[in-house]
Chains A and B, each alone.
Chain A
Amino acid sequence: MASGRDQRVELLQGTLDLIVLRALATMGPQHAYGLTARLEQVADHPLELNQGTLYPALVRLEQQGLIKGTWQKTESNRDAKYYAITKAGQRALEKQTARWRRLAGLVDKLLLGES
């Protein structure tokens, strides 16, 4: 884990929420361990994601009603809290994705368009 440290990308709070919602939408219900594992798998650059930011994000999203957590059994018959995206979460995901796309496009144009 020591190498590639400077290549790690720090996430803004709002974008982490978006990424979690997207991950749950595509991968279906996950528990926290599963989320961490999958996200590290999918991303090209490893995310600066420690549990200190993930758990607060999960409780935020749950309090806002965008995801819902339920206790279920894993394949190995252990207890784990699975988070699933809700209908409200789907709608928020679409809206926020569109906004992110617009923002990214704008920043792109401003940063690169002048060069």
Chain B
Amino acid sequence: MRRFLFRLLNVVRPGRAEDELARETAAHLALLEQDYQRRGMTPDEARAAARRAFGGVEQMKDRQRDARSFAWLDDARWDLRHAARLLRRDPLFTLTAVLSLAIGIGANTTIFTVAQAVLFRPPAGVAGPAQLVDIGTRTPGGGFGNSSYPNYLDLRARTTTLDGVYAYSLFPRAMSLGAESGTPGTERIFGTLVTANYFHVLGAVPVVGRLFSDQAGSDEADAVVLSHRFWMRRFNGDPGIVGRTMTLNERSVTVIGVASEGFQGTGIRAGDAWVTLTAAASASTLSARASAWLLLGGRLKPGVSAPQAAAEVDAIGRALAVEYPDQNRGLGLRVQRLSPVPGSSAPIAVFLALLMSIVALVLVIACANVAGVLLARASARRQEIAVRLAMGAGRSRLVRQLLAETLMLFSLGGAAGLLLARWLTSTIVAALPALPFPVNVSVALDLRAVLFTAALVCAAALLSGLAPALQASKADVVPALKDDAQAPARVRLRHAFVVAQVAFSILLVVVAGLFVRALQAAGASDPGFDRRGVELASLDLSMAGYSGTTGLQFVRELTERVRALPDVQAASIATSVPGGFEVQRRGVTVPGVTPPDGARAFDVDWNNVEPGYFAALHIPLASGRDFTPADRAGAPLVAIVGEGTARRFWPGQDPIGKQIVQQEFGARGPDPTAAKMLLIVGVARDVKASTLIDGLSSSLVYVPLQQQYLSRITILARTTRGQRIADELRAVVVSLNRNLPIVTSQTLEDATAIGLVPQQIVVSVAGGLGLIGALLAAIGIYGVAAYAVTRRTREIGIRMALGAQRADVVAMVLHQGVWLAIIGSAIGLLLAAGASRALVAFLFGIAPLDPVIFGGAAVLFAIVGLAACYWPARRATRIDPLTALRYE
């Protein structure tokens, strides 16, 4: 142990021991000299004899060094210092290598961190997340759907495998929070509706006060729990908040506690407060079995596995489908392990895997680049290596030294990559489009990201550095010492690297190009309405206590005032915005027409609109008329259908004058007393109802808002010059009611853009990285060509002396570089064809083998290859035959 510490000390501070040894050796030799001199030798003879008697001084010193410290650590230190010196000597290479590695490694770390945060992050403040599951309904396309409250109650009562089932509203809802009733002024917060046992099942603990208790009988009707973040931000962490009364949507509530820090439930949606379902939701919503608006979750009983619970829940779902055939038709309940994005894990994982493979490609390209240059430099040092081998250096020692150089380079790249990842993660969060609700995704770089980076660096360094190191240290001593012609195997390896670079770069560029085309197609395709220059403002009239009659009055006044604004050319109010994410779906029956597949009713997209809606959005009316102020409460009920709906219900006939029956579903099935007969008065062109990527909706029905009131409305105002008027709209709302906050405020373009975010991300990432890849490939080709010129300078000189023209020399240089580019491009295009087949799902509307993109990429890389060879070719033509012949 004591010896171990001394040896360690001598690794770190060898200077002192080295001095001592030198002194001791000198003293020993001096004594020997003295001895020989006393025996009668001359001083010079004595010195020589002393040295002979002593033996090899340097060998002795070496063995003493090995004994006094750890030889391999000493070697490593020397290797690293030597490597640092080499890197400093060629700063241009070092800089380009570190930069390209930093980009590759940084991008990989970023995607890894995002994937961690979105897919694998364990929820904060939740006990035993491994035992929790998400429960949802089976939806077409494999998604995870919502459930209704009555279904939830039945599931909770019947399950034996789950130890507690809770429900929560899908999105945090905007609510207005005010001080004690009577005081004016409210602010908008986001609240999540949950069942009373929510906190208990999740095992959450409060930081002050208490959380909802699920004791039978306690209603928690007037209780609200605040989130920690909101409590700190708004109330400065005042513990006196417990017990304070406030108004929430004009209702008096009491704050009973604050959740623990970081607790945000199980998902990524972040809210400011929680209220109980039974208190905040309307009685009709709670009793409507067909109204699916809740996400469910539960905790597995000890000893129960997730598949067991899934089987039981599935059985319960099928039983419910049999008992309530109308509302629960096709109900299939699924259970999945807890995830920050319940039900969306699969598509998000696929998307992230796509991004991950893209950035992995870039890293491979960068590594190939670095490996190629390392190989070239090792070739240039062949003589040095051969001499060392001849003098007895072990091959493993040489390989270790070469690997040390590679590792140092990659470590620098990795450190720079971490910095890049840090910057990238913060800009990603800032660049996300504004979502209608706040999310809580922390993409900070943590220890796992750092470890991932370190592992990536080691793996990449080994992969890129091992082959060149093994190649360079081959014990081919004699030919190397004689400086023979270039070893074919080495050169072939270098060429292989360059071909790989070109192939992967062109693959990236093609993928990026395909996505650009897909985005263009999506954007250019006619959505059926004009989304430029329209300002939106969403309100929830129930927040200010409006009822059916008062609300409609308010809507009429609001529309008038908005239309009166100077910058507004057209305005209207609606409950759904086309191309956005919120849709209403309802069931209708059509007299004389049977719905297909034995269904009871047609499913249609629904929108309640004020007159002037179609004009404001530039949706043409194919026939009939728009709604007028005469279509109000008490007047005959009317509706406008989309063209696709008209074709579906009455193919080949004129829909004007026909009727449809709007169905309401109660607790036990269609409620005949609530059914409404609607007269069709107009037909509108079809629009894309939700997300621009999906096709045009083929089942749209519009009804006048004045006849069917809903409290969640959106103001649509088309401005004269496309300018933003968010503040003016807010001023109008405030002038009518000071206690009504605006829920969301954005332009129609922004609202419809959310669906395109994944594609946009891929375009920027793939495109940027593809171009960088092209640059790296160009550097690779340049390196090969430049190296070839250097190696063959003598040959070129001879050729020129023998009469070769400049053109011949240029052709000779270009030949190699361009040939590599061609092979690489061919391979890359083949790979790209395969990739585009695999990515068909993301590339709607364009052919997988789009000739424009593929052809364009090929041309681009041909130019790149030629440009990269330009400089070496020029240098080759400038070779003076006389100096070339003397060139060694």
Q: How near does chain B come to A7, taking the closest CB pair, in angstroms?
A: 19
A28 within 8 A of B: no
Which one of B59-67, B232-240, B280-288, B597-605 is at the interface? B59-67
Interface residues of B in 17-70 (CB under 8 A from A): 20-21, 23-24, 27-28, 30-32, 34, 54-56, 59-61, 63-64, 66-68
B229 contacts chain A at the CB level, 8 A cutoff: no
Q: Which of A52, A64, A80 contacts B27 (CB 8 A)?
A: A80
Is the CB of B16 closer than 8 A to any CB of chain A? no
- In the complex, what residues of A have CB within 8 A of residue B59's CB? 52
Judge if B492 is at the interface, Cβ distance under 8 Å.
Answer: no
Question: Knowing A31-B31, A59-B68, A60-B67 touch, does A50 contact B24 (C-beta < 8 A)?
Answer: no
| B2 adjacent to chain A (CB < 8 Å) | yes
Q: A51-B55, A52-B55 are in contact. Are A79 and B64 (CB under 8 A)?
A: no
Contact with A along B349-389 (1 / 0, CB 8 A): 00000000000000000000000000000000000000000
Q: A88: nearest residue on chain B (CB-CB)?
A: B2
Are A76's CB and B34's CB within 8 A? yes
Asked if A53 is at the interface of the complex by the 8 Å CB criterion, the answer is yes
Binary interface encoding of chain A residues 97-115 relative to chain B, with 1 for a CB under 8 A from any of its CBs, else 0: 0000000000000000000
A51 touches B60 (CB 8 A): yes
Q: How far is the CA of A64 from the CA of B20 in the complex (A)?
A: 18
Contact with A79, one of B7, B23, B32, B34 (Cβ below 8 angstroms) = B23
A23 within 8 A of B: no
A51 proximity list for chain B (CB < 8 A)? 28, 54-55, 60
Indicate whether B886 reaches chain A with its CB closer than 8 angstroms: no
B68 to chain A: closest residue by CB: A59
Contact between B27 and A56, CB atoms less than 8 A apart: no
Query: CB distance B28 to A64 under 8 Å?
Result: no
Flag whether B3 is at the interface (Cβ < 8 A): yes
Q: Is A68 an interface residue (CB 8 A)?
A: no
Known A-B contacts A55-B64, A59-B68; the reply to A33 vs B55 at CB < 8 A is no
User: A63–B3 contact, CB under 8 A?
Assistant: yes
Among B20, B61, B68, max chain A CB count under 10 A is at B68
Which residues does chain A contribute within 8 Å of B63, judged by CB atoms?
Answer: 52-53, 55-56
Q: Which residues of B contact A63 (CB under 8 A)?
A: 2-3, 6-7, 68
A80–B55 alpha-carbon span in the complex (Å): 19
Measured in the bound complex, the distance between the Cα atoms of B2 and A72 in whole Å is 25
Question: Of A33, A52, A55, A59, which is within 8 A of B31 by CB?
Answer: A33
* Interchain CB contact under 8 A, A74 and B67: no
How many Å lie between the Cα of A78 and that of B32 in the bound state?
Answer: 12
Chain B proximity mask over A43-82: 1 for CB below 8 Å, otherwise 0: 0000000111101110110011100000100101011110
Asked if A52 contacts B56 (CB within 8 A), the reply is yes
Question: Dominant SS at the B interface?
Answer: helix
Q: Which A residues are CB-close (under 8 A) to B54?
A: 51
Q: Once the chains are docked, how many angstroms separate the CA of A52 from the CA of B54?
A: 9
Q: Which residues of A contact B23 (CB under 8 A)?
A: 71, 79, 81
CA distance A55 to B23 in the complex (A): 13
What is the minimal beta-carbon distance from A54 to any residue of chain B, in angstroms? 8
Interfacial chain B residues near A79, Cβ < 8 Å: 23, 27
Whether, in the assembled complex, A25 has its beta carbon less than 8 Å from a beta carbon of chain B, the answer is: no
Whether B2 contacts A33 by the Cβ 8 Å rule is no
A81 to B24, CA, bound (A): 6
A66 vs B2: C-alpha distance when bound (angstroms):
11
A32 within 8 A of B: yes
Residues A28-46 near B (CB distance < 8 A):
31-34
* Alpha-carbon separation in the docked complex, A60 to B2 (Å): 11
Q: Which of B471-512 contact A (CB under 8 A)?
A: none
Partner of A33, one of B21, B28, B66, B68: B28
Complex CA gap A79/B23 in Å reads 9
State in angstroms the CA–CA spacing of A59 and B6 once bound together. Answer: 10
- State the Cβ distance, B52 to closest chain A Cβ, in Å: 9
B553 CB, nearest partner CB in chain A, Å:
96
Please tell me if the beta carbons of A80 and B31 are within 8 angstroms of each other in the complex: yes
CB distance from B255 to the nearest CB of A (A): 69
Report how far A31 CA is from B23 CA in the complex, Å.
12
CA distance A31 to B28 in the complex (A): 8
Q: Which residue of A lies closest to B38 (CB)?
A: A76
A32 to B31, CA, bound (A): 10
Chain A positions within 8 Å of B30 at CB level: 78
Q: Is B3 in contact with A31, judged by CB distance below 8 angstroms?
A: no
In the assembled complex, the Cα of A54 lies from the Cα of B106 at a distance in Å of 53
Which of chain B's residues has its CB closest to A81's CB?
B24
What is the bound-complex CA distance between A57 and B64, given in angstroms?
8
Q: Is the CB of B6 within 8 A of A31?
A: no
Q: CA of A32 to CA of B56 in the docked complex: distance in angstroms?
A: 15
In the complex, A53 Cα to B62 Cα: how many Å? 11
Q: What's the Cα separation between A65 and B3 when bound, in Å?
A: 8
**B2 touches which of A31, A64, A80 (Cβ 8 Å):** A64
Are B3 and A32 within 8 A (Cβ)?
A: no
Partner of A52, one of B2, B32, B60: B60
Contacts of A71 in B (CB 8 A): 23
Instruction: Specify the chain A residue showing the minimal Cβ separation from B58.
Output: A52
Q: Give the nearest-CB partner of A59 in chain B.
A: B68
Cβ of B21 to closest chain A Cβ, rounded Å: 8
A55, chain B: closest CB distance, angstroms: 4
B27 and A59 contact, CB distance less than 8 A: no
Bound CA–CA A111/B398 (angstroms): 45
Tell me if B67 and A56 are in contact (CB < 8 A): yes
Which residue of B is nearest A58, CB measured?
B64
Give A114 Cβ to nearest chain B Cβ, in Å: 39
Q: How far is the CA of A74 from the CA of B28 in the complex (A)?
A: 11
Closest residue of chain A to B3 (Cβ to Cβ) is A63
Instruction: Tell me if B28 and A56 are in contact (CB < 8 A).
Output: no
Residue of A nearest to B34 (CB): A76
Asked if A55 contacts B27 (CB within 8 A), the reply is no
A22 to B21, CA, bound (A): 23
Contacts of A55 in B (CB 8 A): 21, 24, 60-61, 63-64, 67
Chain A nearest CB, measured from B73 CB (Å): 15
> In the docked arrangement, what's the CA distance between A55 and B66, Å?
11
A65 to B1 alpha-carbon distance, docked (Å): 11
If the complex has contacts A51-B54, A63-B7, are A56 and B31 also in contact, measured as CB distance less than 8 A?
Answer: no
Among B20, B27, B34, the one with the most A-chain Cβ atoms within 10 Å of its Cβ is B27
The answer to whether B66 touches A56, judged by C-beta atoms less than 8 angstroms apart, is yes
Separation in Å of the A30 CB from the closest CB of chain B? Answer: 11
Closest to A50 in B: B55
In the complex, the answer to whether A64 meets B31 with C-beta atoms within 8 Å is: no
Q: Which residues of chain A come closer than 8 Å to B27, judged between CB atoms? A: 31, 33, 78-81
- Least CB distance from B412 to A in Å reads 36
The residue in chain A whose Cβ has the minimal distance to the Cβ of B17 is A59
B31 contacts which chain A residues (CB < 8 A)? 31, 33-34, 74, 78, 80
Nearest CB of chain B from residue A59's CB, rounded to whole Å = 4
B7 touches A33 (CB 8 A): no
Chain A nearest CB from B39 CB (Å) reads: 13
Residue of B nearest to A80 (CB): B27
B32 lies within 8 A of A33 (CB) = yes
Residues from chain A with a CB closer than 8 A to the CB of B2 are 63-65
B28 touches A60 (CB 8 A): no
Between A and B, 6 residue pairs with Cβ closer than 8 Å are A55-B21, A55-B67, A60-B67, A79-B27, A80-B24, A81-B20
B residues lining the A interface (CB < 8 Å): 2-3, 6-7, 20-21, 23-24, 27-28, 30-32, 34, 54-56, 59-61, 63-64, 66-68
Known pairs A31-B31, A59-B68, A79-B23; list 11 more (Cβ under 8 Å): A50-B56, A50-B60, A51-B54, A51-B55, A55-B24, A55-B63, A56-B67, A59-B67, A60-B67, A63-B7, A81-B23
Q: Sorted from nearest, which 9 A-B pairs have the closest CB atoms? A: A56-B67, A63-B6, A33-B31, A55-B64, A63-B3, A51-B60, A50-B55, A59-B68, A52-B60
